[in-house]
Amino acid sequence: MDLQAILKAAMERDSSDIHLIPGHPPMVRVCQVMTPLDFPSITPESSQAMFNEMASEGAVKIFQDQQDADFSFECPGLARYRVNAHCQRGTIGLALRVIKTKVPPLSDLNLPEVIARLTYLPRGLVLVTGDTGSGKTTTLAAMIQAMNQRYRKHIITLEDPTEYVLVSDKCVIEQRELGQDMPTFASALKHALRQDPDIILVGEMRDLETTALAITAAETGHLVLSTLHTINASQTVERIIDMYPASQQNQIRSMLADTLQAVISQTLFSRIDRMGMVPAIETLLATPAVRNLIRENRTFEIPNVIETNRAIGMCSLDTSIAELYFNGLISKEDAIAQAAYPDKLERQLVA
């Protein structure tokens, strides 16, 4: 089976994901809906051949050791892909996320204007959160690109795997991939602090050591951008604090209160006005009031602060969803299904 033909057909459908699973035809995700492509069912032999075609020698070794591997792959003339190879029913399954070759400008992403303002920050911690596939990587890449076009600084990105290829403009950009250029996020981040960076992108704060180093980097005058798989701002703050032992949580509350600049939480919706996706965005800015709430362990009050500070750019998830609905971009059913407070939003949409 011709891998390039499958990838080309998926690109023509404007797919976000491609699934190559033995016993099924190639499947693609278009606007969150899984659809088969017009190809024969994949055999175990063809999935093995496609894995061999895409995977580097290092990825093959990891797969042999762990029966699971993440790596990036580029098909010349089409796109780059983030690939996960895994075992299922004794065969190799492949999941590919399409990575656009060109970083879109922030103005094309339907994001609130406040996110562009965050690219002017000199230091601190900015977190972009959301479910898998919610557009976190694209938002961060667009933010990095905006700074790349404006400043003369040193940017280091630590990713798993490298997705968008960032080309140095006014900034000097170094991109490192887990497994290829670094053994762990924590190790790379520790050494990155000695490499004279101004801006550091950490693909994900997935463990305590990485999180602690990211906060330390922000404390020492760097601008640190990272992601978490959380769905709103208050949950993000709680997740970070809960990573630490109870005996250290008061200290980390103080450190986080001092370093956090913003939390951007994204949820993607299928558009009803045309093909495509549009994000609902919850935005938390670290005002003095928010910093006090974090220090005093009153994160449950963060949603109220967001609601009362819309004038400076804060916005709750449900407010953002309601705006999308009233602008005719998403359906009422989708709006209510993904709301933080469905009953309250339903009454608001009826009104």
What separation in angstroms does the CA of 194 have from each of 160, 188, 200?
21, 10, 12
> How many domains are there within the chain?
2
**In a shared domain, residues 269 and 333:** yes
**In a shared domain, residues 158 and 235:** yes
**In a shared domain, residues 121 and 92:** no
- Could you give the CA distance from residue 138 to residue 148 in angstroms, rounded to a whole number? 15
CATH number, domain with residue 149: 3.40.50.300
**Of 82, 99, 116, which one is at a domain's C-terminal end?**
99
**In a shared domain, residues 177 and 197:** yes
**In a shared domain, residues 143 and 273:** yes
Question: Cα 193 vs. chain centroid, distance in angstroms?
Answer: 23
Amino acid identity, position 58: G
pTM exceeding 0.75: yes
291: buried, middle or exposed (CB in 10 Å: 19+, 13-18, 0-12)?
A: middle
List the beta strands (DSSP E) in the chain.
17-20, 27-30, 33-36, 68-75, 79-88, 91-99, 124-130, 154-159, 172-177, 199-202, 223-228, 260-270, 277-285
Residue 308 · residue 316 · CB < 8 Å: no
State residue 168 phi and psi, 5-degree precision.
-60, 130
**Of 99, 115, 146, which one is at a domain's C-terminal end?**
99
Residue 318 · residue 345 · CB < 8 Å: yes
pLDDT by residue, tens only, the chain of 351 residues: 799 999 999 999 989 999 999 999 999 998 888 999 999 999 999 999 999 999 988 899 999 999 999 888 888 888 889 899 999 999 999 999 998 778 999 999 999 999 999 999 999 999 999 998 899 999 999 999 999 999 999 999 999 878 888 999 999 999 998 878 999 999 999 999 999 999 999 999 999 999 999 999 999 999 999 999 999 999 999 999 999 999 999 999 999 999 999 999 999 999 999 888 999 999 999 999 999 999 999 999 999 999 999 999 999 999 999 999 999 999 999 999 999 999 999 999 986
Q: Is the dihedral of CA 241, 266, 95, 333 positive or negative?
A: positive
